[in-house]
Amino acid sequence: MQCLVDGSTVHVDATEPAVIPLDAAPDAIVLVHGAANDHRAWWPVAPGLARAGYAVYAADLPAHGGSRGPLCTDVAQMAVWLLKVLDACGLERCALAGHSMGSLVALHAAGLAPQRISHLALVGTAWPMRVAPALLERAQNQSDAALRNMAMWSHQQQDGRPLQPELVQQTLELMQSVQAGCAQGNALATDLAACNAYADAPDMAARVRAPATFILGAHDRMTPAKAASRLREALPQARVTTLDAGHALMSEAPDAVVQALATLLAQKAQRP
């Protein structure tokens, strides 16, 4: 589906629930992708959530995938934009799940509007989400090389070789298409700089009122599970699920991600 935010077209991949309640609207979950990605990163997960009875929305951030508009240059700007997407989709209240950079966006949005967020899932997250200076420089000046590095680092390896090379290739092709399709600048460099600079996680976490969960990869080299420790301290009531996966949890362990999200969504949420 398409909607308008700030006068620019936004692409939202919407999946209807397999079973629609007779007496109420289905619960909704909005999925937020990571750096140099778009809604397709959530394709392995969205059908399972729909089968579990949830309405699933996955929006492309500005200048990513099918969304137009200028690139957002920081996480707070992305979060404000995301809340406008909820308005455009008619979602007064919903769950949020974000992956990598998207986890910071989801956290910030939940802090800005805690009354609107019923549940919060942080997938493949870390804070601070530091990006190596060499990768920042490569993203700016040799973006394809940076994308190839990131695709490899996003997946499990054994003896220096990916366990599932076809998934590495899928990840690379997705990021290359997003980067090539960005007419507003360098999506990869802008996204990585936003991750690196984000400083508001503790303040936003203190405002969250929703049940929350961390879904982390035991073999994640991009955002290692231990790098989420400060966020876990800021959200002490949050459940933690660690999966046998790398950073690309949705493609490496889709069923387990669906189960972790369904477990979160089954928790009773406080009403605003």
CATH code of the domain covering residue 243 = 3.40.50.1820
User: Does some domain include residue 270?
Assistant: no
Q: Is the peptide bond before 128 cis (omega within 30 degrees of 0)?
A: yes
pLDDT-flagged residues of the chain (< 70): 21-25, 269-272
226 exposed, middle or buried (CB, 10 Å; 0-12, 13-18, 19+)?
Answer: exposed
pLDDT value of position 159: 84
Model pLDDT, residue 23: 65
Q: Is residue 144 part of a domain?
A: yes
Does the predicted model carry a pTM greater than 0.85?
A: yes
pLDDT for 246 equals 98
Residues constituting the chain:
272
Q: Is residue 80 part of a domain?
A: yes
Predicted confidence at residue 270, as pLDDT, reads 61
Tell me the C-alpha distance between 142 and 208, whole Å. 38
Residue 272 falls inside a structural domain: no
Number of domains within the chain? 1
CA 13 to chain centre: 14
The strands making up 117-123's β-sheet, listed across from edge to edge, are: 2-5, 8-15, 55-59, 28-32, 94-99, 117-123, 212-217, 239-243
User: Which residues span the domain enclosing 212?
Assistant: 2-265
Domain membership of residue 46 (yes or no) is yes
In a domain, 181, yes or no: yes
Q: Is residue 110 part of a domain?
A: yes
Asked, for residue 206, whether it belongs to a domain, the answer is: yes
Six token digits for residue 27: 């619960």
Torsional class of 65: left (φ above 0), alpha (ψ -120 to 50), beta (otherwise): left
Instruction: Please spell the DSSP secondary structure of the chain, one letter per residue.
Output: -EEEETTEEEEEEEE--SS--SSSPPPEEEEE--TT--GGGGTTTHHHHHHTT-EEEEEPPTTSTT--SPPP-SHHHHHHHHHHHHHHTT-SSEEEEEETHHHHHHHHHHHH-GGGEEEEEEES--SS----HHHHHHHHH-HHHHHHHHHHHTS-EETTEES-HHHHHHHHHHHHHHHHH-TTS-HHHHHHHHHHH---HHHHHHH--S-EEEEEETT-SSS-GGGGHHHHHHSTT-EEEEES--S-HHHHSHHHHHHHHHHHHTSPPPP-
Question: For residues 82 and 105, is the Cβ–Cβ distance under 8 A?
Answer: yes
Closest CA to 104 of 64, 81, 146, 76: 76
- pLDDT tens per residue across span 35-76: 999 999 999 999 999 999 999 999 999 999 999 999 999 999
